[in-house]
Amino acid sequence: MEPFLIPLLNMDLRRALITFLALLFVLTAVYFVWNYFETPTIIIGERSETTGKIKDIKFVLYGRGHVQRADYFYIVDDSVYFDQILVGPDYGKQHVGNRIVLEYDVNNPERHKIVKFIPDFKETVMMKGVTPKKVGYCEIILTNDIVSIKDYGVKGRLEYDYLGYFYTVSDTIYVNPIKCTPESGFEPKTFVYVEDNKGVSMIDIDTKKVFR
């Protein structure tokens, strides 16, 4: 009888191993689906924390519905890093300007993971203005506390791309730069609100451009 115990035991072990691997596969699949197939970031070396901000939100098609894609940035040692993430259900609805707490690799700041979102804004407040040029146009978009200024030239070519924070005092908008291409345009800006019979406009104090 004893010789038959080993094959039976081996068969039970094989079944147990197959069951374990199947369960592991299912759990892994559920994890990746729940996290929109974002691979987990593992930081092995020295790490530190910083705070970034969401600069843009878009709804993108995922499966049979749509999910939020958050484009964000963070600054480490005066260098600006950009990335994006599909916002999982654990984080709730996000808005431009919300802060993000990140943990990053001190030796390679591009390697990071999101710790949490901070819901600074409960809604999105946006103001947009355009001013024409001889060829092309310039556009300014203020969303919560983030400002984007883009200058388009021939055939819609992007010639100037400015990203900054802003705050308002009375009718004046004060802008501090985060990133600018070309770098020669990296400087604070000031705009004023003006209301007339054509509506509300924003005037660049330095260039006198009027954005409507």
Asked whether residue 7 carries a pLDDT value surpassing 60, the answer given is no
- Rounded Cα–Cα distance for residues 132 and 147 (Å): 19
- Rounded Cα–Cα distance for residues 6 and 14 (Å): 12
Range of weakest confidence among 3-12, 13-22, 137-146, 164-173: 3-12
pTM of the model: 0.76
Asked whether residue 31 carries a pLDDT value surpassing 50, the answer given is no
**CA–CA distance from 10 to each of 3, 5, 6, 13, 97 (Å)?**
12, 9, 6, 5, 59
Rg, Å, the chain Cα set:
25
- Residues pairing with 158 in the sheet: 152
Domains in the chain (CATH in brackets) are 47-118 (2.40.50), 126-211 (2.40.128)
